[in-house]
Amino acid sequence: MDIDGFNENACWTLPENFDVPLVTFIDEAPGEHIFGHEDLNLRSIQLHSNTLIQLERWFTASGQTRVTVVGPLRAKRWLMDMIRSVGSQQAYHQARGEKMLHHVQNQPPTKADLDDSFSMPAYIFGLILDIGFGF
């Protein structure tokens, strides 16, 4: 059954999708760029990525937003790669992130998109050093 874009196969119906949420911290400007003014794009990103995303504004003393993502592992990896890439200081990665962002705002990532995502160890161990992102 599909009710307003949600269905019984949605990510929140599977308990294993809540086992290991991915968490990152982003500054206000990148957060608004990704999720839209007043989180206008949040719902479409969640629907298209089959994830749930919680945004906690001003979570840190410096005003960063904590972003928590739950859902299937590949989708979580893809979204974290997109967030990291959008905020990258390197033009290639930033362009890649913008392409990913536009894609997920308009349609679900394909299997090939998910397969193309970066590996997780850099996220897990905090080795990403992009300015404005607290990985």
DSSP character for 75? H
Instruction: Give pTM, 2 decimals.
Output: 0.76
pLDDT band, very low/low/confident/very high, at 111 (cuts 50, 70, 90): confident
133, β-bridge pairs: 26
69, β-bridge pairs: 22, 53
Tens digits of per-residue pLDDT, 5-60?
Answer: 555 666 667 778 788 899 999 998 999 999 999 899 999 999 999 999 999 988 88
DSSP character for 67? E
Residue 80 and residue 123 in contact, taking contact as beta carbons nearer than 8 Å? yes
* Per-residue burial over 81-103, b = 16 or more CB atoms within 10 Å of its CB, e = otherwise: bbbbbbbbeeeebeebbeebbeb
